[in-house]
Amino acid sequence: MATTAPEIGIGAASQVNPAGAEQVRKERRVAAMLLLPALLFLLLMTIFPTIYSLWLSLQQYNLSRPDLASFVGFRNYGQLLQDDLFWKSVRLTLTFSFVALALQMVIGFIVASFFDRSGRAIGIWRTLFIIPVFTSPVALGLTWRYMYQPGYGLINYLLGLFGIPPVNWLASPDWAMPAVIFADVWQWTPFVALILLAGMQSISPEITEAAELDGLSRPYYLWKIVLPLLLPVITVVALIRLIDALKTFDLIYIITRGGPGTATYTLPLHAYATGFNSFLMGQSAAISWVLVIIVNILATIFLWLLARGEQ
Amino acid sequence: MSDRARPGSGRVRGGVLGALVGGFVLLWLFPIYWIVLTSFKTPLLINEKTPVFVFSPTMENYTHLFTEFNFARPLWNSLVVTTVSTVVVIILALLAAYALARMDVPGGRNIALWMLSLRFMPPIAIVIPFFIAWQRLGIIDTHLGLILVYVAFNLPFAVWMLRGFLVDVPRDLDEAAMLDGLGHVAILRRIIFPVIAPGVAVTAIFTFVFAFNEYLMALVLTSRNASTAPVTVAKFIQPYSILWGDVGAAATIQLVPILIVVFLLQRHIMRGISLGAVK
């Protein structure tokens, strides 16, 4: 990705004659005019809420009594650090994100390698496979909730065929998180698989032919040749998925509402409930800023890995 | 290109593998098939312990959805908000991406990276400021309020994606046009746009789908008037029961535009999906 930086314009800028300089100035004016609407809009719509949300996190601000709002410094954060539910929420967020990510990457890689191997006939299957990614998480979450129902749900029925006794998935503190992760894996594995597939298909034919001539076995070829070559792509996909998983609200909220009890109460749900059920806007902002910090730390580690891998 | 030799793959095994892959994909899509099937079932069949696959379909869930929940209204809200925000995003993003990809912009690369980094921001962190600000500005629960937020959320991604498509277009094309005396806007409109039209379509689809499916922002920023389809569907979760038939019908209705778009633009979607990560 880093290699696609637009190198253009350097040639134009290095011209020294006055006519050239005039040309460059004019070009920059046009560029500014094209860029400014998007840039100004984004600055307005991101800088303001970011600063306001940081400011809120330093306040005691009850939505039902905004007139009583007062500055409390880092007290909201201090309270969070002493709150068991908050730490549980952090743990649940990381569990959800990393388990889902690992499953999506492994299954996605395997599926992509099968797609890659079976030639042109896969066109239609590849297209169909993308559908979960484009489907509404609310509708999908409810679909899974229907299938997880203890009495008439499809999953217990299928397990019953193998003699496995029914499980009340979403009411069980042990099973609710796996159930939610499973739904997320189902929705997002196709995304991972199709990006990895594109990566596999961009591996130069010479490499694959050489591997063929050497009589490499398929697993050996995938493990020793494909995996190292795809490492940059894998890192980027993992980064995208990890960030999105950490931010996930809709799917979890629809399937479990954070329950049973607080078994799936991840940080986005915690922040939402604190803000819109308890009206504690300052607390809620503080929780979301912890999430922002976690996302940024993990993203930085990933980008650092990516940069190191490229060297 | 994709049917070239792969280590360990013979022709015959390729055919068997193709069938395996097909079976696997159909199995994977089963939940979608299941919810569509549910939408045509009576409540009695929906609560049946043994799954029913063959039955005489009923439309009662659909009529219930549109009479009881007045689903036409949230659907309309969703379409308005989604369409308007997509159009605005594409126009703004196309201009910005053209400048970033093909012109001498000081700090252009940093601007592009900054836009990409906006993706790190969890929506929950900024929805509260919008909620409070939109209340004060009187645009809470309006199309406008939601459109503004969706434009902000999709714009960075759209700029990044379009920039990727634009970098691929050969420079000779616009240099020749410039020698013919065309200005930048004319070049963008008459020379570049036709070439990257598929890229624009894909970007528009991603933007559209994101906005159409978005839940958290719509949940917080709309209530009675502007509530969207996902917000309404989530209300089918009632204290003592969930209206599975209505859920199925609503899910099926929302699926239709997605399916149409995916099939019409399948080749380009694959390219768009791989663009961000593979390049």
Quick one: closest CA in B to A188, which residue? B28
Say which residue, A261 or A122, is predicted with more confidence: A261
Helices (H), chain A: 10-13, 18-57, 75-81, 84-117, 123-129, 131-134, 137-148, 154-161, 176-201, 205-213, 218-221, 227-247, 250-256, 267-276, 281-310
| A71 strand-pairing partners | A59
Q: Cα–chain-centroid distance for residue A304?
A: 18
Give the model's pLDDT for residue A259: 82
Tens of pLDDT, residues A154-196: 999 999 999 999 999 999 999 999 999 999 999 999 999 988 9
pLDDT-derived band at A15 (thresholds 50, 70, 90) equals very low
pLDDT-derived band at A51 (thresholds 50, 70, 90) equals very high
Nearest-neighbour CA in chain B from A174: distance (Å) = 23
Nearest to B96 by CA among A40, A62, A114: A40
pLDDT-derived band at A2 (thresholds 50, 70, 90) equals very low
| Structure token pair of residue B219 | 């949940």
B47 chain-A contacts, CB cut-off 8 A? 151-152
What is the average per-residue pLDDT within A58-83? 88
Cβ-defined contact of A288 to B230 (cutoff 8 Å): no
- In this complex, is the C-beta atom of A144 within 8 Å of any C-beta atom belonging to chain B? yes
| Selected residue of A1, A28, A33, A42 to mutate for chain B interface (largest B Cβ count, 10 A) | A42
Nearest to A128 by CA among B32, B177, B77, B78: B32
Average pLDDT, rounded, for chain A: 87
Radius of gyration for chain B, computed over Cα atoms and rounded to the nearest angstrom:
23
Average pLDDT, rounded, for chain B: 86
The percentage of residues in chain A with a pLDDT greater than 90, rounded to a whole number, is 57
The beta-carbon neighbor of A236 closest among B8, B38, B277 is: B277
| Chain B contacts in chain A segment 222-261 (CB below 8 A) | 233, 236-237, 240, 243, 246-247, 249-250, 253-254
Give the model's pLDDT for residue B107: 84
What is the average per-residue pLDDT within A226-231? 89
Q: Please answer whether residues B144 and B81 qualify as being in contact, where contact means their C-beta atoms are separated by less than 8 angstroms.
A: no
Nearest-neighbour CA in chain A from B136: distance (Å) = 12
pLDDT-derived band at B5 (thresholds 50, 70, 90) equals very low
- What is the Cα–Cα distance from B274 to B202, expressed in whole angstroms? 12
Q: Please answer whether residues B28 and A115 qualify as being in contact, where contact means their C-beta atoms are separated by less than 8 angstroms.
A: no
What is the average per-residue pLDDT within A51-75? 88
What is the average per-residue pLDDT within A231-253? 92
- Residue B49 scores a pLDDT above 50: yes
Q: How many CB pairs under 8 A join A and B?
A: 332
Tens of pLDDT, residues A81-116: 999 999 999 999 999 999 999 999 999 999 998 888
Tens of pLDDT, residues B94-138: 999 999 988 878 888 888 888 888 888 899 999 999 999 999 999
Give the model's pLDDT for residue A127: 85
pTM, full prediction: 0.88
Give the model's pLDDT for residue B275: 61
- Residue A117 scores a pLDDT above 80: no
Cis preceding linkage at A6, omega within 30: no
Give the model's pLDDT for residue B13: 59
CB neighbourhood size of A231 (10 A): 15
Give the model's pLDDT for residue B66: 95
Give the model's pLDDT for residue A61: 86
- What is the Cα–Cα distance from B202 to B192, expressed in whole angstroms? 16
Give the model's pLDDT for residue A120: 60
What is the average per-residue pLDDT within A250-267? 94
A194 chain-B contacts, CB cut-off 8 A? 270, 273-274
- In this complex, is the C-beta atom of B22 within 8 Å of any C-beta atom belonging to chain A? yes
Tens of pLDDT, residues B203-223: 898 899 999 999 999 999 999
Cβ-defined contact of A194 to B273 (cutoff 8 Å): yes
Non-local CB neighbours of B258 within 8 Å, separated by 6+ positions: A131, A134, A135, B209, B212
- Residue A7 scores a pLDDT above 60: no
The beta-carbon neighbor of A130 closest among B155, B184, B262 is: B262
Give the model's pLDDT for residue A198: 85
- What is the Cα–Cα distance from A294 to B224, expressed in whole angstroms? 35
| Chain B contacts in chain A segment 100-119 (CB below 8 A) | 111, 114-119
Using CB atoms within 10 Å of the CB of residue A17, give its burial: 0 to 12 exposed, 13 to 18 middle, 19+ buried: exposed
Place of tokens 């920059």: A28
Helices and strands in chain B: count of H runs, count of E runs: 15, 0
Radius of gyration for chain A, computed over Cα atoms and rounded to the nearest angstrom:
25
- Residue A29 scores a pLDDT above 80: yes
What is the average per-residue pLDDT within B169-191? 81
- What is the Cα–Cα distance from A247 to A294, expressed in whole angstroms? 10
- Residue B1 scores a pLDDT above 50: no
B187 chain-A contacts, CB cut-off 8 A? none
- Residue B73 scores a pLDDT above 90: yes
- What is the Cα–Cα distance from A132 to A140, expressed in whole angstroms? 8
Helices (H), B48-192: 60-68, 72-102, 108-117, 123-137, 143-167, 171-179, 184-186
B24 chain-A contacts, CB cut-off 8 A? 111, 114
- Residue A225 scores a pLDDT above 60: yes
Nearest-neighbour CA in chain A from B96: distance (Å) = 4
